[in-house]
Amino acid sequence: MEIGKLTNKDLNNLVMKHLQSKRKDVVLGSSVGEDCAAIDFGNEVCVLSTDPITGATENLGKLAVNICCNDIASSGAESVGLLLTLLCPPNTTNEEIELILRDASSEAEKLNVDIIGGHTERTSAVNRIVISGTALGRVQKEAFVRTGSAEPGDYIYMSKWAGLEGTGIIVGEKRPMLEEVLTSSQMIEAMSYLNHLSVIPESEIAMKNGVTAMHDVTEGGILGAVYEMCEASGLGCEIYHHNISVKEITEKMCDHYLINPLRLISSGVMLMTIPSSQAGGFERGMIEAEIEYAKIGIMTELQECILVYGENEMEEIREAIAPPEGDELYKVIE
């Protein structure tokens, strides 16, 4: 069986059919493609999300904090608190545990979010450290954004570059094996990508410019996130391959491992759908904030997710975007 999160088909067949929301105060319950759940708290919505870190052994604290808070940001909410659960193999030292919590605390302070509880234990149930985080956020009810709220004709934007997180993880885990592929300066740059994990700044810019939907790009990469956003919205899209941002270092690394950078875990990248009438303001905001971005496609009424190759109609090749399956990371990191 594939390593990584369940396919959308398995999620629907094995999980979602058992999770119907029945309470009126549950604004948004479990749904494929949605980053968060939400509960009605009067004038505000309490937004919640949970995620584990299973594909990395380094930077666990930093990754856990950012990935959870990124999900909250995708709903337009502000993260308030985090719960962290740390499961450690029996031979884990006190120093290793403290390092993870120190890094998590430092990252949480940068994002103005408190670590308010959790659980830490040594257990033979795991053979390496697993950290799982649950984030809680708040947003005014009328400002709450769903992944499934995109509209036909909206432009699809991505921030930063595809494979951001996956590149940093793989280089960190496989550095000796990549010495003949990447220079030392390229490996340092690749590791620095993990300093760009937060999508809170671009979320805030999108919220000021009429964003209809946002989706944090995690397992399954940029194409997986596009598919999930379309499925959640009940719409289709056209994505222009040549517009998707990929760093040269990521391309070289992916060529070496024969993996697709567009299917590589990409925390730090946000998908955002913006009405065409407000695209100019959004782009100016991103430029002023010095955040890399690209307009990669458009939402369509037809329920087909299409990847378009070629920059003109004479050279155009169109292919269907397949549903997300196991992330490319797990072909490299076992």
Helix or strand (DSSP H, E) at 98: helix 94-110
Q: How far apart are CA 199 and CA 80, in angstroms?
A: 16
Q: What is the CATH number of the domain that holds 208?
A: 3.90.650.10
**pLDDT tens sequence across 136-168:** 999 999 999 988 899 999 999 999 999 999 999
Number of structural domains in the chain? 2
Same-domain status, 175 and 324? yes
Closest CA to 214 of 75, 65, 96: 75
Q: How far apart are CA 9 and CA 184, in angstroms?
A: 42
Same-domain status, 179 and 125? no
Residue 325: its pLDDT value, please? 82
Give me the torsion for CA of 140, 143, 63, 188, rounded to 10°.
-130
Same-domain status, 123 and 226? no
Q: Which of 127, 143, 159 is the last residue of a domain?
A: 143
Residue 320: its pLDDT value, please? 95
Is the residue at 127 inside a domain?
yes
In the structure, how many helices (H) and strands (E) does the chain have?
9, 13
Same-domain status, 171 and 257? yes
Same-domain status, 35 and 70? yes
Same-domain status, 29 and 102? yes
Burial classification of residue 214, based on how many CB atoms lie within 10 Å of its CB (0-12 exposed, 13-18 middle, 19 or more buried)? buried
Residues of the chain where predicted confidence (pLDDT) is lower than 50: none
Q: Find out whether 135 and 164 touch, Cβ atoms under 8 Å.
A: no
Residue 8: its pLDDT value, please? 66
Residue 16: its pLDDT value, please? 65
Residue 22: its pLDDT value, please? 75
Residues 6+ apart with CB under 8 A from 180: none
> DSSP characters for 55-72?
S-SSSHHHHHHHHHHHHH
Same-domain status, 46 and 104? yes
Host domain of residue 151: 147-331
Is the residue at 1 inside a domain?
no
Residue 333: its pLDDT value, please? 82
pTM: predicted TM-score of the whole model, two decimal places: 0.88
